[in-house]
Amino acid sequence: MRTRWAKALVLLSVLALLVTACSQDDEAETTTTAAAATTTTAAAATTTTAGDAAATTTAAPEPGLAFDAGVTEEPCEGGNPDNGCIYLGVISDLSDGPFAALAIPAVAGVQEFWKTVNAEGGVAGFDVAITAENTVDARYNPSEHVEGYVEIEPNILMLAQSLGTPQTQAALPQYIEDNMVAVPATWWSGWAFPENDGNGLVLEAGVNYCIEAMNDVDFVVGQLGNEISYAVVGFPGDYGGDYAAGVEVGAAANGLGAPAFQLTQVPLSAGGDVSEAVSQILATAPDVVFITTGPLELAQTMGGVFGAGGQAVFVGTHPTWNPGLVAQEALLPALQAAYFQSGFVPGWFGESEGHDKARAAAEAIEQSPNEWFLNGWASQYPVKALIENAVASGDLTRAGVVAAIEQLTDVSFEGMLPNQSYVGTPNDIVPRQSIINQVDPTAPGGTVTASGMFTGPTATAYELTAPCFVP
């Protein structure tokens, strides 16, 4: 047994191939960017649906639709000839950062969402383009994130993805100055508060790390009872800190007491050093380990613990998982027996109109089943609703888009997520549902649901009056 798990540690180097395996669609759609610098008018369009096909009928141009940067009357390259074009930007981790294996399929999901919308006739008389020129690989580096943003800012209306909390925080003063709405690939509880997100500029979707953690604790207690010991392991900053704060709330609500240990200083790098975490788990022998890292660190931690003869149930947050883990044969028995995966969007098994569309789009480009493709896809529904609202108001300028956020009171995710409001107090509108998955190597994406979407009693009762954790 010891030899078998020692092999797991050797095989972990293969996980570096996850980035390659998930990058079938990491080439950004290449079109010609034509940024608008002046206010003008655009043609309006109405879309009618017949069966599965959408037909677009172009109406006479409606005078008075104002727009500026990132919007043109001219069609996108290869787009619907009677539509204008809206250009969106992406700033992500697309090469050698700690979350590249997740970000690459997530960006593919973003791109395919808009390709599908365009194929159905577009949105409010426009197609939407995410071009190579407007896609930045910032490698999860705040300074590169800001530099990349400055380069693409003149060309885009909004950011379809802004990956990372420290990165988005670093660029937020510029976002505020530019009236730049950004969809975060980060689930910090602080984004629910206007003082942290530029009064609504950060357009998050899905449950935050803190409430996700409360649901995770409730799930574990429901499975194992409250006579258990536990530990918390994670990356530093808002990701590990926000989740650890939620675990603390859940533990108190369930009478679990203090953790055996809490270590939220796992080095933040692809394949960071997890030796301290492994040592403390072996020394304290907790029944459950709540872990907030990337997939490499999860594999290394579980491989180290089980390889040394230790045992524990591991519960990971949604950025901790990658379906490529099921290919690691030596690690697979531990994953199947002792790992639960939480998330905010039901996986490849999800049953909704949005899931059906996303799976069809993935199949068309031969994207392998991946939860992060779904996450990227789902993140764009608020953007689509925001474009519709801004056009309906006659103002598709950046300032007009910001103003239209006040109309986002019931955004539909086509069943992928519960409808979400962006208007109201944080406690009233914060999403509280999440899902728990378990590993099944025979399932598309490598997981099946263990819980279905749910809100545990701790999250239900929790009053969100401030961020759970402040970086």
Q: What is the DSSP string of 15-74?
A: GGGHHHHT-TT-SPP--------S---EEEEEEEEETTEEEEEEEEEETT-EE-TTEESS
Q: Which is higher by pLDDT, 412 or 2?
A: 412
The tokens for 38 are: 């002046």
Q: Which residue has the tokens 């009056």?
A: 465
Q: Which is higher by pLDDT, 240 or 38?
A: 240
Give the pLDDT band of residue 127 (cuts 50, 70, 90): very high
- Mean pLDDT lowest for which of 16-20, 149-153, 390-394, 423-427? 16-20
pLDDT at 160: 98
Give the pLDDT band of residue 221 (cuts 50, 70, 90): very high
pLDDT at 39 > cutoff 80: no
Average pLDDT over residues 86-114: 95
* 348-360 b/e (C-beta count within 10 Å ≥ 16 → b): bebebebbebbbe
pLDDT at 105 > cutoff 60: yes
pLDDT at 382 > cutoff 60: yes
CA pair distance 330, 325, nearest whole angstrom: 10
Q: Which is higher by pLDDT, 463 or 99?
A: 463
Average pLDDT over residues 85-100: 95
Give the pLDDT band of residue 270 (cuts 50, 70, 90): low
R_g of the chain, CA atoms, integer Å: 22
CA pair distance 274, 285, nearest whole angstrom: 16
Kindly report the pTM of this predicted structure: 0.86
pLDDT tens profile 10-19: 333 333 333 3
pLDDT at 146: 98
266 C-beta neighbours (distance < 10 Å), count: 24
pLDDT tens profile 41-73: 433 333 333 333 333 333 323 557 999 999 999
**Mean pLDDT, the chain, integer:** 88
Contacts of 290 (CB under 8 A, 6+ apart): 213, 216, 217, 230, 231, 232, 233, 234, 243, 244, 247, 315
DSSP single-letter state for residue 410: S
The residue count of the chain comes to 471
Which amino acid, 412?
Answer: S
pLDDT tens profile 316-353: 999 999 899 999 999 999 999 999 999 999 999 999 99
CB–CB of 85/34 below 8 Å?
yes
CATH of domain 2-17+209-343+433-461: 3.40.50.2300
CB–CB of 60/46 below 8 Å?
no
CB–CB of 197/176 below 8 Å?
no
User: CA dist 145 to 157, 240, 250, Å?
Assistant: 17, 21, 34
CB–CB of 215/458 below 8 Å?
yes
What is Dmax (Cα atoms) for the chain?
73
**If DSSP states are collapsed to H, E and C, what string results for 170-237?**
HHHHHHHHHCCCEEEECCCHHHHCCCCCCCCCECCCCCCHHHHHHHHHHHHHHHHCCCCCEEEEECCH
Share of the chain above pLDDT 90, in %: 82
Share of the chain above pLDDT 70, in %: 86
Average pLDDT over residues 286-291: 98
pLDDT at 25: 39
The tokens for 371 are: 């939860």
Q: Which is higher by pLDDT, 9 or 105?
A: 105
The tokens for 346 are: 């039901």
Contacts of 239 (CB under 8 A, 6+ apart): 165, 186, 188, 209, 292, 317, 319
Q: Where in the chain is the domain with CATH 3.40.50.2300?
A: 2-17+209-343+433-461, 31-206+350-429
pLDDT at 17: 34
Place domain 31-206+350-429 in its CATH homologous superfamily: Response regulator (3.40.50.2300)
pLDDT at 138 > cutoff 50: yes
CB–CB of 246/468 below 8 Å?
yes
